[in-house]
Each structure stands twice: as structure tokens, then as C-alpha cells.
Amino acid sequence: MVTPARKVSIVKKRTKPFVRVQSDRFKRVGESWRRPVGIDSRTRRRFKGTRPHPKIGYGSSKKTRFLLPDGFRKFTVHNRKDVESLVMLNRTYAVEIAHNVGAKKRVVLIERAKQLGLKVINADARVRSVEN
């Protein structure tokens, strides 16, 4: 099994989602975040006691940004040339085969990734067991 070059613990500054203003009051207003724009909006003016806004301070650390929980970064692969480009980075990046790659090419890519010591995230997708 392939392990990452260095395992860094990922610290999230905020895991709760930012909730849209007045989504708790009206059924027609969804919870997904929208920036408040009204001229009298207390939330837009950031009054005390209102909902928190997404802002730059909630961003992740540069070391752990885009890191998967297992310690790898994701790299989407479409063909064999893309797999070959990760030869020296097999402990940093994990391979994700693109959704539009067919089953035949997928088997070839998985085989080559295994030879290069790369971790394939979605190795089971579209690959059926072959009957003898």
C-alpha cells in the first residue's frame, strides 16, 4: 500500500456551513449561502449578533489545502501520458481516473499506475470481475 511522503494533520478553522440570511424564517429561502445585499440588511452591515460571513480568515493552511484525508493530493488523469507525468510524485499525488474514460482504457491506466507505485482513488469504477 502506498503511503504519503509526509502525513500532516489537517486543521479546519470552521466545519459548520455558512447559512443564508432568513433561511430559517421562510421555506422558499434555501440554506445555501448567498451574500446579503439589502440596503438595510443588518447582516450585510455586520451588526453584532448576526450570522458570520465567509471571509479570508476562514481559509485553510497552505500546507494542507486541497489535501485528501489520507494525506495525498488529487490528480485527475485522462490518458497514459498523464499517468507517466506522476513518476516522481507517487508519494504526493493520488490518481483519480476521469469519469469519461472507458472501461478498457481504465484497466490499462490502473495497471500502469500500479507499476509506478501510484495510488488510484477510484480503481473499482467501471471495472467488472472477469469470468473464467
Please name the residue that has the C-alpha cell 504526493. 92
Q: What is the pLDDT of residues 16-49, one digit of tens each?
A: 999 999 999 999 999 999 999 999 999 999 999 9
Q: What does the alpha-carbon distance between residue 120 and residue 68 come to, in Å, rounded to a whole number?
A: 13
User: Which pLDDT value is given to residue 5?
Assistant: 85
pLDDT of residue 131: 52
Beta pairing partners, 126: none
User: DSSP letter string over 39-104?
Assistant: TT-TTTTT-TTSPPPP-GGGPPPTTTTTB-TTSPEEEEE-SHHHHHTTGGGTTTEEEEE-TT--HH
Q: What is the pLDDT of residue 130?
A: 56
Question: Are 2 and 120 a contacting pair, CB within 8 Å?
Answer: no
Using 50, 70 and 90 to split pLDDT, how confident is the model at 6? confident
The model's pTM is 0.77
Q: What is the pLDDT of residues 62-101, one digit of tens each?
A: 999 999 999 999 999 999 999 999 999 999 999 999 999 9
